[in-house]
Amino acid sequence: MLHTLLTASESIVPIIVMIAVGFFMARKGWINETFGNASSKFLLNIALPCYMIWNLMDNFDRGKLLALVGGLLVPVITKVVTYFLSIPVSNLMKIPRSRKGVFRSIFFCSNTIFVGLPINLELFGTESVPYVLLYYIVNTLLFWTLGNYEISCDGEASLKAPLFSKATVKKVFSPALIGFLLGIVFILLQVKFPQPVTDSLRYLGNTTTPLALIFIGLTLTTIPLRQLKLDRELIVLILARSVLSPLLVAATLQFIPLPKLMGEVFIIQSAMPAMTNTSIVAKGYGADYKFASVATVVTTLACVIAIPIIMCFIH
């Protein structure tokens, strides 16, 4: 258990460091709201689409992608169930409209790459990578469809457009999702980019996580200290990420048996903290990005405690 705790802590330290850098730079006056607006536009429209294409094409080929399709059912079922659970929970808690979509998105989506990949590598070794990426595909697709739609509704209190309206389709098919879908298409068509193109996608894509975390640090400087307390909304999100999600995966595995390692990776992936991109997306739509930033930090810290406990139950 001590080794697992150290593993989780080591994977989270870089996140805390980059958030602290953003916080320090904002306190010094080196970055401000103008930087936050510019970085959110850059991340949403350039860095994230590049990251999606490069990440998928770098880790999958057509054979690997098709071979893993059978394992998609468990993350799809559990993610969709968790999403539909988030709706009555957010309504019963009377979450303000400005953060209701953010709350729902964090409730059912997890940080499967930046936190999930290193933790799974340490816990299970390189054999876990294909299963980590399989869960990543489902999580990413749902975040940029259902999650993106929910957050977009936060920014417009009067939004009454039905789920399949033209306005909704425009919101769902964000540049990041288009990049993700293009990556899948390129893999299936076995497209190979020249090295300069691949390198350009990689360099631009690799700015995603550090910029998103620096943005969170900037945001934290604008939040009064009294708002950083552990309130009921954050407690529910911690329980959703660290307890409910892994329990749902474990229960689903009783009915849909998978290889032992795949099932264990899925359980760990389901317990990962909020996606670092949530606050950037919220900022882009005019939603409550400050709440998203605080929730990202809190669920990330909670992950350090949750993972060793979950590993004890798995074993």
Own/partner long-range contacts of 1-4 (Cβ < 8 Å, ≥24 apart): 1/308, 1/311, 1/312, 2/308, 4/123, 4/307, 4/308, 4/311
CB atoms < 10 A from the CB of 202, how many? 16
Closest CA to 106 of 304, 273, 298, 289: 273
Q: What is the CATH number of the domain that holds 298?
A: 1.20.1530.20
Q: CA 74 to CA 252: how far, in whole Å?
A: 7
- pLDDT tens column, 255-312: 998 999 999 999 999 999 998 889 989 988 889 999 999 999 889 888 888 888 888 8
- pLDDT tens column, 94-109: 999 889 999 999 999 9
What pLDDT is stored for residue 160 in this prediction? 44
Mean pLDDT of 237-251: 96
Q: CA 229 to CA 195: how far, in whole Å?
A: 48
* Counted domains in the chain: 1
Mean pLDDT of 149-176: 68
* Position 34, amino acid: T
Mean pLDDT of the chain: 86
Tokens 């789920």 -> residue: 163
Q: Which residues contact 200 (CB under 8 A, 6 or more apart)?
A: 50
Mean pLDDT of 197-225: 87
Q: CA 264 to CA 159: how far, in whole Å?
A: 40
307 lies in which domain range? 2-314
H or E element at residue 25? helix 2-28
Question: Where is pLDDT greater, at 294 or 224?
Answer: 294
